[in-house]
Amino acid sequence: MDPQSLHQTRCDSLFALGGFADRVGLTEALSAAVPRRGERAPVHDRGAVLVHALLMLAGGGEACTDIEYLRAQRELFGDVASDSTLYRTITGLGAGGAGALLGAAAAVRERLWADRDRSGPLVVDVDSTLVEVHSENKAGAAPHYKGGFGFHPMVCSTSEGEPLWIKQRPGNAAANDISDHLEVIDAAVSTLPEPDAAGHRDGDDPGLVERPLVVRIDAAGCSPKLAGGLRDRNIGFAVSARSNRGIEAAIRGGLGDPGRWHTAQKRPGRRKRRNAQVADLTDLADLSGWPERTRLVVRREPRHPGAQRTLFESDSFRYWGFLTDQPRSAAQLDKLMRSHADVENAVCRLKDSGLERMPFTAWDANSAWAAMCMIGLALVGWFQNACLTGTLRRAAPKRLRWQLWHLPALVCNSARRVLLRLPQHHPGAKALLAIAHPR
């Protein structure tokens, strides 16, 4: 074999992710979402440019210049646009670019969710996060409540961690802004397939609901007005309670009734907290400002090192509670609400997929970049569910890069075909072969 026809590459597995994006229609959807400017067709299809950018983000890229790693591997990725073309593509999307990109991903989601089990309610999580930047030249960057400087986007994802929507916000945006919460929830509902979204738009008749929808939010969403807005959309809610005199009085009143407290249920895959108990204290709390059927559920567990703040001062227990309108038992609802902590994992994955940096100076371009980070993470999640098994199906971005995306291989040109020679003992080789040759 001619040595010049043989070379080593580090990103060969990413071509499988790109092929998957083509198969599920993401490339076509992104092409339709990006309007053509000028009289002549661009040299590079804008959908293909954006998909290559998603592959770059999956591989750990964090700026337009990182697309050059794909350009160097033409045998696998074809004709990849330059970093200048990618820059012009993103900056040229304009004010509605982020929404258009997320809408294109929604069309793909509708096809992928077609056979999904809809017997239970759909649970989504809303959370905000801080993105630090080190330049005052970026539009919208501002000091935030933790003393840093940057942006404060708000994210909505499913309970399984699939990203739905992101709203780019300046650094000084409030974490408990009710209008932002409702805007993000409305936008996320618009990206859901119709069987999931039916009846959950503002002012919809409750009879239109085909599948219940429940939104979980931390204490930033503890507001009767926000709960009322969700009720107007026929959306259930579960929000962490804030410490106040009414909550403290309800907990104090429940301490004298041991029959109220029941053993907390263990979450799958989590260590059980010993002696953790749950109680429904609805009848002891003043919930007059909240929508009807609102309940107060409180959990207590022995204090442990590193325990977060408590709703009720105690030397023995840490108290934590939430408000909800869901009809299950207190122990079941506690288990449901504690799973809201998984949204932190979703945010960490998002930051590890490009959101940690805002590489542009223009607001609209950074908004589109944030949307691309969401779509890139969703694409990887779809690929994991459809093509991977075992631990790789739940693996975080870092592990996927080490074990799959950056799997070293030899690219060979033989009989007008491009062949890959994989290392026999690499842990990701077996997974890639299983994708290429499913049983």
Q: Provide CB contacts within 8 A for 378, sequence distance 6+.
A: 105, 109, 162, 163
Domain ranges of the chain: 3-98+359-436
pLDDT at 436: 63
pLDDT category, 76, cuts 50, 70, 90? Answer: confident
Whether residue 356 has pLDDT greater than 50: yes
**pLDDT tens sequence across 271-330:** 667 788 999 999 999 999 999 999 999 999 887 776 666 787 777 788 999 999 999 999
More confident residue, 182 or 256: 182
Mean pLDDT taken over the chain: 89
Q: Is residue 86 pLDDT above 80, yes or no?
A: yes
Does the pLDDT at position 2 exceed 60? no
The answer to whether residue 5 scores a pLDDT higher than 60 is no
Q: Which residues contact 294 (CB under 8 A, 6 or more apart)?
A: 227, 282, 287, 323, 324, 325
Q: Using H for helix, E for strand and C for coil, what is the string for the chain?
A: CCHHHEEEECCCCHHHHHHHHHHCCHHHHHHHHCCCCCCCCCCCCHHHHHHHHHHHHHCCCCCHHHHHHHHCCHHHHCCCCCHHHHHHHHHCCCCCHHHHHHHHHHHHHHHHCCCCCCCCCEEEEEEECCEECCCCCCCCCEECCCCCEEECCEEEEECCCCEEEEECCECCCCCCCHHHHHHHHHHHHHCCCHHHHCCCCCCCCHHHCCCCEEEEECHHHCCHHHHHHHHHCCCEEEEECCCCHHHHHHHHHHHCCHHHCEECCCCCCCCCCCCCEEEECHHHCCCCCCCCCCEEEEEEEECCCCCCCCCCCCCCEEEEEEEECCCCCHHHHHHHHHHHHHHHHHHHHHHHHHHCCCCCCCHHHHHHHHHHHHHHHHHHHHHHHHHCCHHHHCCCHHHHHHHHHCCCEEEEEECCEEEEECCCCCCCHHHHHHHHCCC
Which residue did the predictor score with more confidence, 330 or 420?
330
The pLDDT of 320-341, averaged and rounded, is 94
Q: Evaluate if residue 77 carries a pLDDT over 70.
A: yes
Q: What are the pLDDT digits (tens) for 199-254?
A: 999 999 999 999 999 999 999 999 999 999 999 999 999 999 998 999 999 999 99
Residue 438 — pLDDT band, cuts 50, 70, 90? Answer: low
Confidence at 439, pLDDT banded by 50, 70, 90: low
User: What is the per-residue pLDDT across 130-179, written as a single tens digit (0 to 9) for each?
Assistant: 999 998 999 999 999 999 999 999 999 999 999 999 999 999 999 999 99
Q: Give the per-residue pLDDT at 40.
A: 59
Higher pLDDT, 422 or 355: 355
Q: What pLDDT does residue 6 have?
A: 33
Q: Which stretch of 75-79, 100-104, 176-180, 258-262 has the lowest confidence by average pLDDT?
A: 75-79
Q: Is the pLDDT of residue 3 over 50?
A: no
Query: Which structure tokens are listed for 41?
Result: 């067709």
Token pair of 36 as six digits: 């053509």
pLDDT tens for each residue of 22-62: 999 999 999 998 877 665 566 788 899 999 999 999 999 99
pLDDT in tens, 377-415: 999 999 999 988 888 899 999 999 988 888 887 778 778
